[in-house]
Amino acid sequence: MTPLGEILARRIAQNGPISIAEYMAECLMHPQHGYYTTRPVFGSAGDFTTAPEISQMFGELLGLSLAQCWIDQGQPDPFVLAEPGPGRGTLMADILRATANIPGFHAAARIHLIEVSDRLREVQAATLHGHDVTWLDSINALPDAPLFLIANEFFDALPIRQFTRDRQGWREHQIGVNNAGLVLGLSAPAPISMLDHRLNDTNPGDIVEICPAAGPVMDEIADKISANGGVAIIVDYGGWHSFGDTFQAVQNHKQVGVLGNPGQADLTAHVDFENLTKAAQAVSVSDLVTQGALLERLGITRRAQLLATNLTEAALESHIGAHRRLTHPDEMGTLFKAIAVFPINQPPPPGFTHDA
Ligand code: SAH
């Protein structure tokens, strides 16, 4: 067992089973043994690759969409340019490079990164060398100013709870311990008021997930945008409505068992965009769009062609592959989705629609 596995097994033996949310929080963020706090997680040497790590085009196009909103909203100065869960800082670096020639944008931007891992804060500082950056522990510490925020694969790292419906109520998936190590089990059935709305579209035996932290975070972002203006673009993998078991562990670019190596594998779950949309009060929320469609609307094909003119051989192959990975339905194009949150009297950012 990993050192964190030993710690959790001892805790469970003393106090009883823990929820998946508690397990996930410890595995990802334990100060000494957590995944994000201790490991070089990104890129080919790490365990997984995110869209900004695949190609600079992702951050460039989304950054320009944000900047267009800033212009449409009268170029507020100062404004907060924020990113929760910035990973290596690549997305923010690409946004800043793409917006460098927009008059007044950099001068007005107050860059804020929301990151809990000290180790990743150091990596982000190196990537964003030369920029004035403030780090915060949580969204609610952001200053009161127009907020232009982007989050990619942030919500999928927030801890989830999982439940199986049965005839008497919901049984929570929990982690216990036996001689073989950590094991999954089910609590006794109980009514769960947060899941009342799922009684209509599920049957006994079905699994649903909730992410208790996601709604409050979204609510805070929406509050700031409704009070001060701005926009938030949220990109993640998942769909409209959580259904089934989406809790997964990835290590060395491969899917592994969720209980196998606590603290040494990345743990994520699909993001429930319906939940995020419902939590965003007093603002408009765009229609849900796939990452592929969003990037196409923002002009990724033209941008890819332009970048390709300077490339040959292996670099060109890899660039073509990156375009495909970001947009193709068999790759990230449809699994990843996005919404934008913006003030009620404003149009949605470029790339997004708003039918309601
Ligand atoms: N957005 C980046 C990285 C995504 S990985 C990219 O696209 O490449 C998830 C990031 O969220 C990591 O930086 C991790 O440390 C951070 N994170 C996870 N939970 C967090 C929390 N509760 N608060 C702030 N940051 C968190």
Taking the centre of ligand 1 as the mean of its atom positions, its distance from the CA of residue 27, in whole angstroms, is 14
The protein residue whose alpha carbon is closest to atom 16 in ligand 1 is 85
Q: How far is the CA of 211 from the centre of ligand 1 (A)?
A: 15
Nearest CA to ligand 1 atom 5: 87
What's the token pair of residue 145?
A: 């100013």
Helices (H) and strands (E) in the chain, counts: 13, 17
Domain-located, residue 188: no
Question: Mutate which of 154, 235, 237 to test ligand 1's pocket (most atoms within 8 Å of Cβ)?
Answer: 154
Full-model pTM: 0.96
Q: Closest Cα to atom 26, ligand 1: which residue?
A: 85
- Determine the residue of 117, 235, 332 to mutate for testing ligand 1's pocket, defined as the one with the most ligand atoms within 8 A of the Cβ atom: 117
Residue 176, domain member (yes or no): no
Would you say 65 and 230 are in contact if contact means Cβ atoms under 8 Å apart?
no
Tell me whether residue 350 is in a domain.
Answer: no
* Cα 234-71-215 angle, rounded to 5 deg: 25
For residue 93, what is the domain's CATH number? Answer: 3.40.50.150
Confidence label for 58 from pLDDT (cuts 50, 70 and 90):
very high
Whether 235 shows a pLDDT value over 80: the answer reads yes
Residue 356 covered by a domain: no
**Which CB contacts under 8 angstroms, 24+ apart, belong to 20-24?**
20/159, 20/160, 20/161, 20/162, 20/173, 20/174, 20/175, 20/247, 21/159, 21/160, 21/161, 21/212, 22/159, 23/175, 23/262, 24/159, 24/160, 24/247, 24/267
Structural Rg of the chain based on CA atoms: 21
pLDDT for res 47? 76
In a mutational test of the pocket of ligand 1, which residue from 24, 55, 115, 266 has the highest number of ligand atoms less than 8 Å from its CB? 115
For residue 132, count CB atoms less than 10 angstroms from its CB and return exposed for 0-12, middle for 13-18, buried for 19 or more.
exposed
* pLDDT value, residue 8: 98
CA of 239 to the centre of ligand 1 (A): 19
Is 272 inside a domain boundary? Answer: yes
pLDDT tens-digit readout, 20-56? 999 999 999 999 999 998 877 777 677 778 999 999 9
Task: Identify the domain containing residue 116 by its residue range.
Answer: 36-157+229-240+260-342
Q: What is the mean pLDDT of the chain?
A: 95
Domain assignment present for residue 199? The answer is no
pLDDT tens per residue across span 125-171: 999 999 999 999 999 999 999 999 999 999 999 999 999 999 989 99
- CB 238 within 8 Å of CB 177: no
With a Cβ cut-off of 6 Å, ligand 1 is lined by 36, 50, 52-53, 84-87, 90-91, 114-117, 120, 152-154, 157
Asked whether residue 249 is assigned to any structural domain, the reply reads: no
Q: What distance in Å separates the CA atoms of residue 293 and residue 299, rounded to the nearest whole number?
A: 10
Q: Could you tell me the distance, in angstroms and rounded to a whole number, from the CA of residue 86 to the centre of ligand 1?
A: 6
Q: Whose CA is nearest to atom 24 of ligand 1?
A: 115
Q: Is residue 147 part of a domain?
A: yes
How confident is the model over 293-323, as pLDDT tens digits?
999 999 999 999 999 999 999 999 999 999 9
Domains: count for the chain: 1
